[in-house]
Structures are given as structure tokens and as C-alpha cells.
Amino acid sequence: MARITAGVSTSHVPAIGAALDLGKSAEPYWAPVFKGFDFSKRWIAEEKPDVVFLVYNDHASAFSLDLIPTFAIGCGEEFKPADEGFGARPVPVVHGHPELAWHITQSVIQDDFDLTIVNKMDVDHGLTVPLSLMFGQPEAWPCKVIPFAVNVVQYPPPSGARCYALGKAIGKAIRSFDQDLNVQIWGTGGMSHQLQGPRAGLINKEFDNKFLDLLINDPEAAARIPHIDYVREAGSEGIELVMWLIMRGALEANVDLLHRFYHVPASNTAVGHLILKNGG
Ligand code: DHB
Ligand code: FE
């Protein structure tokens, strides 16, 4: 059967992708950010996951105000890097795992979560930057990736509680897949940031670190945070953190913290990153 071996969370700042793509990762501003992923790169090279179930948000690249799915699962064979206005990032095409993705889709929809099925979409920095942070700059991504897009761009976003419950249903679905696969689940986006309006530039280190503590040790409490608290405390884009709860919901209550990293600033936000071994 498929096994969920670990959960990974990380921010997805687009400027991190640009720093890598333009060869600026050793510059003093960026070096401390990438240093926080040295352990992670060594760790994942040994773990060799077969599939990453990657929870992320699209930033009006694949979707637009014409069509706004709350939860969308990528069931296609491949997903190309999106052109976000400066040309597509020079990173490999993402290869999906249609068989597992359809299995999860069936299981989760039958468990009463209404997913949108996507066979064709481009993937933006929300998905490619986490891959770059964890795998560096390979010729091809070393595993299959199932993209799972969450609407946190257009109000109303799904609640943290709904995301956490959905994570549980996704975990159950993966564990019931009849192939021996090493699967990781990643939750991406965050941490506190606001890109617009009078509070643009907001970063709340205290909220971020409390959220990391709760996510590791008391995810039920983290899941009870109402969406308005993310917006008030972590800024309008801080709501991206609800995606980390999908990752946490798919893991067991007991986890082992393998790595924790927090750094401010990176562009307009704080970079947070966790690696949780499933089952503690
Ligand atoms: C920034 C962060 C994001 O999450 C995003 O989607 C775009 C920009 C930033 O920090 O600049
Ligand atoms: Fe974002």
C-alpha cells in the first residue's frame, strides 16, 4: 500500500525562484534563505519519495476570476511551468501520477469533499518555488507530483477547519492506494504577509512562530483559528497558511519534527519551513 512518510511545509515567495534562476542565491540577502534548506535537500535525496502530493495556490495563472475552484486536483500526465508575466521559469515540466490522483479524487469526493478535477493546467511559483527549494535545480524533477490547488486568492477562502478535515480524507485516500509508494505531502505558501493596501509589508513573527508550534504539537487548535484571525494577524496573504493544515491533517497526530526554519525577510514575507516525519 502507499505510505505517507513525511509532511513538508514551506513558503513559496516568487523572488526566491527569480534569485535561483538568475544565479543570485549566494548573494548576502538570499544566502541565509537557501541555507535553511541545506538539511532539507540532503534529507530528501535520501528519502527519495515516489510521489509528492503538493498543496499550493494558483495566483491567477491557471485560473482567473472567470473560474475559481476552491479545491482543484491535478489528474493530468504533466503540468507546464506557467508564464507569470516574465516568461515561464526555466524549470522542468512537472510529471503527475494520474492513477493515484484519480484514486484520491474518487475517495475524497465519496467522503463528501467536492473537488474540481483538472486534466490540464500550468503551475505557477506557488508550486515550482517549493520544488526548487527542496530539490535545487535538477534537469528533471526526481519524483511525480500531484498538484492540489486551493483558492486563497479570491474571498471567501476555505476555513482552516475544512482544510484540516480535507487533509484527513486525503491521508485516508493515499493510504488505501494499492501500490507500494513512498508519498510525501507538502503544504505551501505563507507565512505572514500582505502585498496590498495600507498594511502592505506586514510581517508578524510572533503569530508565525505560534502557528508553527501549534501545527507541530496541537494541530486541532491550529485548525480552530478563524480565517479573520489570519487576515488580522498575518495579513491578507497570510491566509495562505490554511494550506499547511491540509498537509498536517493527512499526517498522524504524532509526528517527529526533523527540521524547523524561520527567516525574515524574503521579499515581502517570512520564510517558514518544517519537515515532519509521519508517525513520530
Ligand atoms: C510574495 C509572496 C507571495 O506569496 C506571493 O504569492 C507573491 C509575492 C512576496 O513576498 O513578494
Ligand atoms: Fe503567494
Long-range contacts of 213-219 (CB under 8 A, 24+ apart): 215/9, 215/244, 215/245, 215/248, 215/274, 216/255, 216/257, 216/260, 216/274, 216/276, 219/164, 219/245, 219/248, 219/249, 219/253
Q: Whose CA is nearest to atom 6 of ligand 1?
A: 13
Which atom of ligand 1 sits closest to the CA of residue 237? 4
Q: What is the pLDDT of residues 134-155, one digit of tens each?
A: 999 999 999 999 999 999 999 9
Which atom of ligand 1 sits closest to the CA of residue 269? 10
Catalytic residues: 125, 193
Starting from the edge strand earliest in sequence, which strands make up the sheet with 182-188, in order?
Answer: 116-118, 71-74, 144-150, 51-56, 182-188, 3-10, 269-278, 255-266
Q: What is the pLDDT of residues 232-279, one digit of tens each?
A: 999 999 999 999 999 999 999 999 999 999 999 999 999 999 999 999
Q: Contact, 208 vs 261, CB < 8 A? A: no
Pocket of ligand 1, candidates 242, 267, 271, 273: which has the most ligand atoms within 8 Å of its Cβ, to mutate? 267
Q: Which residues pair with 149 in a beta bridge?
A: 56, 72
Whole-angstrom distance, CA of residue 208 vs CA of residue 74: 29
- Output the CA 253–ligand 1 centroid distance in Å: 30
Question: What are the domain boundaries of the chain?
Answer: 3-272
Whole-angstrom distance, CA of residue 280 vs CA of residue 267: 34
- Output the CA 170–ligand 1 centroid distance in Å: 27
Is 20 a residue whose pLDDT tops 80? yes
Q: What is the pLDDT of residues 51-101, one digit of tens each?
A: 999 999 999 999 999 999 999 999 999 999 999 999 999 999 999 999 999
Q: What is the pLDDT of residues 160-213, one digit of tens each?
A: 999 999 999 999 999 999 999 999 999 999 999 999 999 999 999 999 999 999
Which atom of ligand 1 sits closest to the CA of residue 268? 10
Q: Contact, 246 vs 170, CB < 8 A? A: yes
Q: Whose CA is nearest to atom 5 of ligand 1?
A: 13
In this structure, whether the domain defined by 3-272 belongs to CATH 2.60.20.30 is answered with no
Whole-angstrom distance, CA of residue 125 vs CA of residue 267: 14
pLDDT band at 280, cuts 50/70/90?
low
**Ligand 1 site: residues with CB under 6 angstroms?**
12-15, 59, 193, 195, 237, 267-269
- Output the CA 190–ligand 1 centroid distance in Å: 8
Amino acid (1-letter code) at residue 240? E
Whole-angstrom distance, CA of residue 100 vs CA of residue 75: 8
